[in-house]
């Protein structure tokens, strides 16, 4: 089965699913960071030239140097792998095994932007991240990092409340999950579709139409322990 | 449409992740997509450009190639929409399909829909669902409305990617031009650009085609991913797949045990569905077997919990680290007078360092003529001559330059010298390709075998067979168990030797404590220092142990 996450097993035997991010959101995140930096430069230019006159340019040069090399690194290491742009797009940089990204890895991946940016505007990085199954650019491959979709606070839907009903048949784990998912999501489907889905498991509900939907809700409530 | 045959994992995703899924799909079926893509687009590219060259309208050829993009998109869509159900079409099949497939939609997509920002999402809606006019409009609205902005963003980003690749290809090619020729080349290129020369336009068309060929399949794939996600969202496709499989499983299971099912259905109102069930269907074929009353299973759980709960542990707990530190060390208890303190060694080292022959000091006195010493004092500041400073400045600059280069050389030298040390950092980063552990061991630890009945004989037999460590291990294990039984305590699982010793303080007689301490010490010497006891000593120890702890002699 094709999926978009990277499967990592920790030494404790916990399977992690790192939802790798491809070039589309990453490019947008980069553009946002770029805009943020340009805004900072412009503000600094105004302030520094007003305060120090000609010497302000020298300071601005120094600040530009620091910003261009450390903006990404500092944010990535100190803000759980998120620059402001990545934060806006819900992305995070993590090590390839899901651990938080360290100074060394972050510096490596940002140093190699020089290579990825060749010949202009990250063309090399774009092509590599299109080819790589985890959407990594060269810097990520060398530093052993990965950009992932961070888990967002999602709107959770409460499962429909109904009188609990024990299923007549022992359900496997993923089937239980599907029944609960049905109870959570079916209220947002059309009535016809609800019935159609519920009738698929007629051997379980032993009824049809709206009654089947209600019985499935009941089973889900039983599975959720609402007794 | 057979949803069970789906080859991708469906679940509600965010829009970006849905696009990610579509792009992964394109990557997976790259061969099936790009081969027909090349077969179809290259002839059209060549034809259009040849015609443009002949008519001196090469800009129009480029525009037409770009305008035809929705028509080319169908190649990608045809492949991935079938591959997603596990029927990846062959190259020939795909190419042939391009002449007929979705003919009804060519006109809208090449005219008034050409510039629509949500093309990547609407194309699968129209081409795959194939509804009539108003029906298709409703479908587009239902599927597209919440993600329209996302689609527009997707189109915008992909457009920029294409522009980026065009410029990147041109500049990348220029990187291979020797530096001396660069100004001339730039001039020639600028002239060709302003004059709109034939070859330059043809080249541009080619480069644009390359960029489009790289990006467009991913664009279509991302749109298709969004489409799948929308349908999952509003139709519950992921639920439907599981339900269909569940139905198939139940149907298969029902056939042989239909009667049993009928019989048990009446009594099974409380069947425990949440019991950890084996994932194989065979276990499900006999539902009657799996119907212990729910109450019983609940009791079981309770029983388990009690078993795991540490009942009483009178010895030092592992958790309260602060308290543990305050307790006296057990080292002296174990090693007794044999424990050698290293203070003597440290004293000896300090003493040796004080020896004047190790770090000798010398005072040297030198005579100097008197007048030289006076001359120095007399030197008066002379008027400053700026011309001297020029030489000095130049010298200083040269020196600083030398120093700087020296530093650079030093730095390079140090880097080269420490190559082995820091290269690993990068390698260490890149080593993540290593295989993840194939399977996680989930089996519980096997219970240690029960102690043999006749302990001393068993231990001595092991010792005589040359398996000294095994013999010692058995001796230690037996000693700990006997001690725990004697002292009437329960040791925590994995108790350390020190914990056992501390626990042994509860033993009644001093002899028992002593012989247990001796057993622990012997075991520790063997386990941690690899120094085995003499055969005679060991024999004696086993004898004492069996005497004190009442092992069968």
User: What pLDDT score does B389 carry?
Assistant: 66
Q: Flag whether residue B428 sits within 8 Å of chain A, measured between CB atoms.
A: yes
Q: In this complex, do A104 and B442 lie within 8 Å of one another by their Cβ atoms?
A: no
Which CA distances in Å does B64 have to B69, B164, B166, B169, B460? 9, 20, 17, 21, 94
User: Which of A35-44, B381-390, B420-429 comes out lowest in average pLDDT?
Assistant: B381-390
Q: Which residue among A1, A169, A181 sits closest to B8, beta carbon to beta carbon?
A: A1
In which band, very low, low, confident or very high, does the pLDDT at B477 lie, cut at 50, 70 and 90?
A: confident
B485 vs A26, higher pLDDT:
A26
Find which of A28, A129, A165, A172 to mutate to test the B interface (most B CBs within 10 Å of its CB): A172
Find which of B30, B218, B429 to mutate to test the A interface (most A CBs within 10 Å of its CB): B429
**DSSP, residue by residue, chain A:** -B-SEEEEE-TTS-EEEEEB--HHHHHHHHHHHHHHHHHHHHHHHHHHHHHHTTHHHHHHHHHHHHHHHHHHHHHHHHTTT--HHHHHHTEEEEETTSPBP-HHHHHHHHHTHHHHTTTTTTHHHHHHHHHSTT---HHHHHHTEEEEEPPP-PPP-PPPP------SSPPPHHHHHHHHHHHHHGGGS-HHHHHHHHHHTHHHH---HHHHHHHHHHHHHHHTT--
B179 vs B29, higher pLDDT:
B29
Q: Is the pLDDT of residue B79 over 90?
A: yes
Q: Are strands A91-95 and A5-9 parallel, antiparallel or unpaired?
A: unpaired
Confirm if B353 and B359 have CB atoms less than 8 A apart.
Answer: yes
Please compute the mean of the pLDDT values over residues A1-6 and round it to a whole number: 84
In which band, very low, low, confident or very high, does the pLDDT at B160 lie, cut at 50, 70 and 90?
A: very high
Q: Which of residues 486-505 of B touch A (CB under 8 A)?
A: none
Average of per-residue pLDDT values in chain A: 88
B436 phi and psi angles, rounded to 5 deg:
-70, 155
* CA B437/CA A16 separation, integer angstroms: 13
A vs B, Cβ pairs < 8 A, gives 195
A133 to chain B: closest CA residue? B24
> Token pair for residue B8?
């991708």
Name the 3-class secondary structure at B8: strand
Please compute the mean of the pLDDT values over residues B424-449 and round it to a whole number: 59
In which band, very low, low, confident or very high, does the pLDDT at B39 lie, cut at 50, 70 and 90?
A: very high
Reported as a single tens digit per residue, the pLDDT across B302-344 is: 444 444 444 443 444 444 445 545 566 666 776 766 666 778 8
Q: Which residue among B265, B294, B425 sits closest to A168, beta carbon to beta carbon?
A: B265
The candidate with the shortest Cα–Cα distance to B158, out of B8, B17, B23, is: B23
User: What pLDDT score does B488 carry?
Assistant: 83
User: Which of B165-174, B218-227, B382-391 comes out lowest in average pLDDT?
Assistant: B382-391
A124 vs B353, higher pLDDT:
A124
Q: Which residue among B16, B175, B274 sits closest to A149, beta carbon to beta carbon?
A: B16
* CA B458/CA A43 separation, integer angstroms: 84
User: What pLDDT score does B267 carry?
Assistant: 45
User: What pLDDT score does A101 carry?
Assistant: 92
Name the 3-class secondary structure at B468: helix
Confirm if A212 and A199 have CB atoms less than 8 A apart.
Answer: yes
Confirm if B221 and B80 have CB atoms less than 8 A apart.
Answer: yes
Confirm if B19 and A89 have CB atoms less than 8 A apart.
Answer: no
Helix H or strand E encompassing B542: helix B535-549
Cβ neighbours of residue A179 under 8 Å, at least 6 residues apart?
A167, A171, A216, A219, A220, A223
Reported as a single tens digit per residue, the pLDDT across A155-183 is: 677 888 888 888 888 888 888 999 998 98
Q: Specify burial of residue A154 (Cβ count, 10 A radius: 0-12, 13-18, 19+).
A: exposed
User: What pLDDT score does B270 carry?
Assistant: 40
Reported as a single tens digit per residue, the pLDDT across B257-307 is: 555 545 454 444 443 333 333 344 343 443 433 434 434 433 444 444 444
Name the 3-class secondary structure at B329: coil
Q: Which residue among A28, A130, A181 sits closest to B239, beta carbon to beta carbon?
A: A181
Reported as a single tens digit per residue, the pLDDT across B87-131 is: 889 999 999 888 888 788 888 888 888 888 899 999 998 888 877
* CA A142/CA B486 separation, integer angstroms: 61
User: What pLDDT score does B329 carry?
Assistant: 67
User: What pLDDT score does B315 carry?
Assistant: 45
User: What pLDDT score does B195 carry?
Assistant: 79
Q: Flag whether residue B273 sits within 8 Å of chain A, measured between CB atoms.
A: yes
User: What pLDDT score does B457 carry?
Assistant: 87
Please compute the mean of the pLDDT values over residues A197-208 and round it to a whole number: 86
> Token pair for residue B408?
């650079």
Reported as a single tens digit per residue, the pLDDT across B506-524 is: 887 888 888 889 899 898 8
Please compute the mean of the pLDDT values over residues B78-90 and round it to a whole number: 90
Q: Quickly count: other Cβ atoms within 10 Å of residue A99's Cβ.
A: 14
Q: CA-based Rg of chain B, rounded to a whole angstrom?
A: 43
In which band, very low, low, confident or very high, does the pLDDT at B377 lie, cut at 50, 70 and 90?
A: low
> Token pair for residue B532?
């085995």
A192 to chain B: closest CA residue? B235
Which residue(s) pair with A100 in the sheet? A94
Q: Flag whether residue B174 sits within 8 Å of chain A, measured between CB atoms.
A: yes
Reported as a single tens digit per residue, the pLDDT across B517-550 is: 989 989 888 888 888 888 888 888 888 888 888 8
Contacting residues of B for A4, CB less than 8 Å apart:
17, 20-21, 24
> Token pair for residue A112?
């190699």
* CA B255/CA A82 separation, integer angstroms: 56
DSSP letter at B437 equals P
Q: Is the pLDDT of residue A207 over 70?
A: yes
* CA B212/CA B165 separation, integer angstroms: 9
User: What pLDDT score does B380 carry?
Assistant: 61
Q: Is the pLDDT of residue B414 over 80?
A: yes
Q: Flag whether residue B16 sits within 8 Å of chain A, measured between CB atoms.
A: yes
Confirm if B459 and B552 have CB atoms less than 8 A apart.
Answer: no
Q: Flag whether residue B218 sits within 8 Å of chain A, measured between CB atoms.
A: yes
Please compute the mean of the pLDDT values over residues B76-97 and round it to a whole number: 90
B163 vs A186, higher pLDDT:
B163
User: What pLDDT score does B256 carry?
Assistant: 62
Average of per-residue pLDDT values in chain B: 79
Q: Which of residues 438-467 of B touch A (CB under 8 A)?
A: 440-442
Sign (positive/negative) of CA torsion B6, B11, B15, B21? negative
Q: Which residue among B21, B238, B271 sits closest to A168, beta carbon to beta carbon?
A: B271
User: What pLDDT score does B65 carry?
Assistant: 92
User: Which of A194-203, B8-17, B343-352, B415-424 comes out lowest in average pLDDT?
Assistant: B415-424
User: What pLDDT score does B291 carry?
Assistant: 39
Contacting residues of A for B169, CB less than 8 Å apart:
123
Confirm if B475 and B523 have CB atoms less than 8 A apart.
Answer: yes
């Amino acid at each position: 089965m094709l999926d978009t996450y990277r499967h990592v097993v920790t030494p404790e035997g916990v399977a992690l699913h790192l939802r790798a991010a491809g070039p589309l959101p990453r490019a947008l995140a980069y553009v946002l960071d770029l805009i943020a930096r340009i805004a900072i430069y412009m503000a600094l230019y105004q302030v520094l030239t007003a305060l120090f006159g000609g010497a302000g340019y020298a300071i601005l040069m120094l600040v530009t140097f620091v910003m261009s090399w450390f903006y990404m690194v500092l944010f990535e290491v100190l803000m759980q792998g998120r620059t402001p742009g990545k934060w806006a797009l819900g992305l995070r940089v993590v090590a390839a095994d899901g651990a938080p990204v360290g100074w060394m890895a972050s510096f490596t991946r940002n140093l190699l932007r020089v290579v990825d940016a060749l010949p202009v505007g990250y063309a090399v990085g774009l092509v590599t991240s299109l080819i790589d199954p985890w959407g990594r650019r060269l810097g990520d491959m060398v530093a052993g990092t990965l950009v992932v979709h961070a888990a967002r606070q999602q709107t959770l839907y409460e499962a429909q409340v109904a009188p609990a009903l024990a299923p007549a048949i022992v359900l496997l784990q993923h089937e239980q999950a599907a029944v609960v998912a049905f109870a959570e999501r079916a209220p947002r489907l059309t009535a016809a579709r609800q019935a159609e889905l519920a009738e698929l498991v007629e051997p379980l509900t032993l009824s049809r139409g709206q009654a089947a939907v209600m019985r499935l809700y009941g089973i889900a409530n039983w599975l959720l322990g609402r007794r | 449409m057979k949803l069970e045959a789906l080859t991708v994992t469906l679940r509600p995703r965010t829009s970006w992740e849905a696009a990610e899924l579509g792009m992964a799909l394109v990557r997976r079926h790259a061969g099936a997509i790009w081969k027909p893509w090349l077969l179809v687009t290259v002839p059209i590219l060549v034809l259009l450009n040849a015609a443009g060259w002949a008519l001196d309208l090469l800009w129009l050829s480029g525009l037409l190639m770009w305008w035809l993009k929705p028509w080319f998109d169908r190649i990608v869509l045809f492949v991935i929409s079938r591959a997603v159900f596990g029927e990846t079409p062959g190259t020939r099949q795909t190419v042939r399909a391009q002449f007929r497939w979705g003919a009804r939609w060519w006109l809208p997509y090449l005219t008034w829909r050409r510039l629509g920002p949500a093309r990547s999402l609407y194309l699968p809606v129209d081409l795959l669902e194939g509804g009539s006019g108003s029906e298709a409009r409703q479908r587009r609205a239902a599927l597209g409305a919440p993600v329209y902005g996302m689609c527009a963003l997707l189109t915008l980003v992909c457009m920029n990617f294409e522009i980026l690749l065009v410029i990147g290809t041109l500049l990348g090619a220029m990187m291979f031009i020797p530096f001396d020729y660069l100004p001339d080349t730039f001039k020639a290129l600028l002239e060709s650009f302003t004059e709109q020369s034939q070859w330059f336009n043809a080249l541009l068309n080619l480069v644009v085609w390359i960029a489009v060929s790289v990006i467009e399949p991913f664009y279509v794939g991302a749109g298709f991913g969004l489409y799948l996600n929308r349908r999952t969202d509003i139709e519950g496709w992921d639920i439907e797949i599981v339900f269909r499989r569940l139905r198939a499983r139940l149907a298969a299971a029902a056939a042989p045990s239909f009667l049993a099912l009928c019989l048990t259905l009446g009594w099974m109102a409380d069947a425990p569905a949440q019991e950890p069930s084996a994932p194989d269907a065979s276990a499900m074929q006999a539902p009657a077997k799996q119907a212990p009353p729910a109450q019983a299973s609940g009791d079981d759980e309770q029983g388990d919990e009690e078993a795991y709960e540490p009942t009483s542990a009178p010895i030092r707990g592992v958790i309260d680290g602060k308290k543990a530190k305050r307790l006296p060390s057990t080292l002296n208890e174990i090693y007794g007078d044999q424990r050698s303190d290293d203070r003597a060694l440290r004293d000896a080292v300090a003493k040796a360092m004080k020896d004047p022959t190790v770090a000798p000091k010398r005072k040297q006195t030198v005579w100097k003529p008197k007048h030289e010493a006076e001359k120095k004092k007399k030197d008066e500041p002379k008027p400053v001559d700026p011309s001297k400073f020029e030489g000095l400045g130049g010298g200083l600059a040269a020196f600083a330059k030398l120093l700087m280069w020296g530093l650079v050389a030093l730095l390079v030298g140090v880097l080269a010298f420490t190559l082995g040390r820091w290269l690993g950092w990068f390698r260490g980063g890149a080593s993540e390709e290593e295989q993840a552990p194939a399977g996680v061991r989930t089996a519980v630890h096997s219970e240690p075998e029960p102690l043999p009945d006749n302990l001393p004989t068993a231990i001595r037999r092991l010792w005589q067979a040359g398996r000294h460590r095994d013999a010692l291990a058995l001796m230690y294990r037996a000693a700990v168990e006997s001690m725990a039984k004697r002292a009437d305590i329960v040791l925590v699982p994995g108790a350390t030797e020190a914990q056992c010793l501390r626990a042994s303080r509860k033993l009644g007689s001093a002899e028992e404590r002593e012989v247990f301490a001796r057993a622990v010490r012997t075991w520790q010497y063997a386990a941690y220092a690899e120094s085995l006891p003499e055969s005679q000593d060991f024999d004696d120890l086993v004898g004492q142990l069996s005497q004190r702890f009442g092992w069968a002699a």
